Amino acid sequence: MNFRMITLALFFIVINCFELKAQNIFEQRIWEVGGRKKSVFLDQGIFHTGKREGKSVLSAVRHSYVTRNGFERVVFDFNTNEIPQVYGHANSKEKKVYVDFFNTRANPSLSSFGNSKFVKQLNFFPIDENMLSVELDLKEEVLVDVFYLKNPGRLVIDIKK
């Protein structure tokens, strides 16, 4: 069943990430998301957390921009102490960040995201009852840094120009 979910996630990312031109994912940087901020901002690449067990609910998505920090922080809050398994793709040229959350569903009362410095729109795609895909539609080409926090589980995406 995990193989089916991973295949479905890869298929969804491939379909949504690549327009009419083909791209070689073997030329993409691939990194495992860590449990602390590294301040390594990248313009593109594939990121993941590795295998995670348990079910999660995405309870909130929030953001903040502090001028002195120079980046906007987008935080995905979960109802568990750890984040779920994550697979994502950042592509600055397409102005998109795609994130797949395995064994996760969205809280039906998930509130509005509001005005953001870099994020034009957030789109949620519940693939099935166990998988949630999120697309961050960006206003311009940016760099991203991705990490997670525990207790409670939070996936953090820092975005800067």
Task: Look at phi and psi of residue 50 and say left if phi exceeds 0, alpha if psi is from -120 to 50, else beta.
Answer: left
Residue 46: what pLDDT?
A: 96
Residue pLDDT, tens place only, 40-85: 899 999 999 989 889 999 999 999 998 998 999 999 999 999 999 9
Evaluate if residue 129 carries a pLDDT over 90. no
b/e code 25-51 from CB counts within 10 Å (16+ = b): eeeeeeeebeeeeeeebeebbbbbbee
pTM: 0.82
In this prediction, residue 14 has a pLDDT band, given cuts at 50, 70 and 90, of low
Max intra-chain CA distance, the chain: 46
Residue 126: what pLDDT?
A: 92
Domain locations in the chain as residue ranges: 2-20+28-160
Looking at residue 75, its amino acid is V
Q: 102 and 130 in contact (C-beta within 8 Å)?
A: yes
Residue pLDDT, tens place only, 136-157: 999 999 999 999 999 999 999 9
Evaluate if residue 23 carries a pLDDT over 50. no
* CATH architecture designation of domain 2-20+28-160: Sandwich (2.60)
